[in-house]
Amino acid sequence: MTVSRVLRNRGDVSPTTRQKVLEAARQLGYVPNKIAGALASQRVNLVAVIIPSMSNMVFPEVMTGISRVLEETELQPVVGVTDYLPEKEEKVLYEMLSWRPSGVIIAGLEHSDASRAMLAAAGIPVIEIMDTDGTPVDSAVGISHRRAGREMAKAILAAGYRRIGYMGTRLGLDHRARKRFEGFTEALAKGGVEIEDQEFYTNGSALGKGREMTAAMMARSPELDFLYYSNDMIGAGGLLWMREQGYDVPGAVGMAGFNDVQLLHGLPSKLATMDSCRQEIGRRAAEIILARLNGEDAPSGKVELTPVINPGDTLRAP
């Protein structure tokens, strides 16, 4: 029918009929059925975005980056949440792929075999984000968390700290935190230093957990002169506690977190941290999808961004 042509601004349609169709559509409150359209055209302008969590403060920013670039196109992001659970990731991925999206943006490089197989077989651009330590199915945009851990360790050693404690999420579920930890310990080892104490948590109010863990650790290991946190939220909690207790930060004890979450700017003192380039990761990933879909040559393989250390007020100058 001509109607289809009008509604998609395609082909030559006389302005007269065009008007008539538009008018009729409005009157009937017509909303086209994309399902039928997609089935017929074999094109779906959806980009599946699969992330571990929404309440994390890190993924909303990635989403912002993605939305910004997709906004000016036909493409629409559709998000799925995995809660850091591989089985759930598999399920969500399956569900999303069954809608035949035009591309997939998925967090991390670690997936179940089944998930990897699905991604590889989907025949669409697949961008794995956040991390570049590993082998992507297709392309990856992110930072090297191992390197991020190393860099922070080097900065800490350079500043003269030697007795280091670590606090973070229970390793295992969060591969990126694990890799940072590995890079961190590795670089410390090169400097002849070992982590003296560590503590892990699973959930709860991050700020509060940071306080609790820090209090417990300082009670247990008062000799520590540096506290490294797997994320800024628990780090900020720890910092608040340390300040209240009257510790000399960063003189006697240095502290650092990870992510550079904007949310915390405005706290009495600023935790040393490392920017994880979240928004740019989202932007770049969406751009690659877009380029691929337009048949342009987009960087395949890894795109590694470089996180920068922000010493804040809790890392003394070397």
The distance from CA 92 to its chain's CA centroid, rounded to whole angstroms, is 17
Counting contacts by CB under 8 A, is residue 25 touching a copy of itself?
no
Distance CA 254, CA 290 (A): 43
Selected from 9, 27, 28, 42, the binder of DNA by CB under 7 A is: 42
Contact 219, 188 (CB under 8 A): no
Query: How many residues interact with a copy of itself (rule CB under 8 A)?
Result: 50
Q: Residue 161: phi, psi to the nearest 5? A: -75, 145
Rg of the chain's alpha carbons, rounded to an integer?
A: 24
Selected from 29, 192, 222, 295, the binder of a copy of itself by CB under 8 A is: 29
Query: How many residues interact with DNA (rule CB under 7 A)?
Result: 23
DSSP state, 271? P
Distance CA 302, CA 161 (A): 34
Residue 133 C-beta: closest distance to a copy of itself, Å = 27
Counting contacts by CB under 8 A, is residue 31 touching a copy of itself?
yes
H or E stretch covering 262: none
Provide, for the chain, the percentages of residues in helix, strand and coil under a 3-state DSSP scheme, each rounded to the nearest 5: 45, 20, 40
For DNA, the closer CB: 14 or 202: 14
Distance CA 233, CA 187 (A): 24
Torsion 206-207-212-218 (CA) sign: positive
Query: Between residue 2 and residue 31, which ones bind DNA under the rule CB under 7 A?
Result: 2, 4-5, 7-8, 10-14, 16-18
255 bridge partner residues: 227
Selected from 9, 29, 36, 265, the binder of DNA by CB under 7 A is: 36
Of DNA, a copy of itself, none, which one does residue 14 interact with (CB within 5 to 8 Å by kind)?
DNA
Phi-psi region of 35 (alpha: psi -120 to 50; beta: other; left: phi over 0): alpha
Interface segment toward a copy of itself; rule CB under 8 A; list 35-43, 186-194, 251-259, 294-302: 35-43
Residue 267 C-beta: closest distance to a copy of itself, Å = 7
Selected from 24, 39, 189, 216, the binder of DNA by CB under 7 A is: 39
Contact residues: DNA, CB under 7 A? 1-2, 4-5, 7-8, 10-14, 16-18, 32-33, 36-37, 39-43
Contact residues: a copy of itself, CB under 8 A? 29, 31-36, 38-39, 44, 54-55, 60-61, 63-64, 67, 76, 78-81, 94-95, 97-100, 117-118, 121-122, 205-211, 233, 237, 240, 244, 262-268
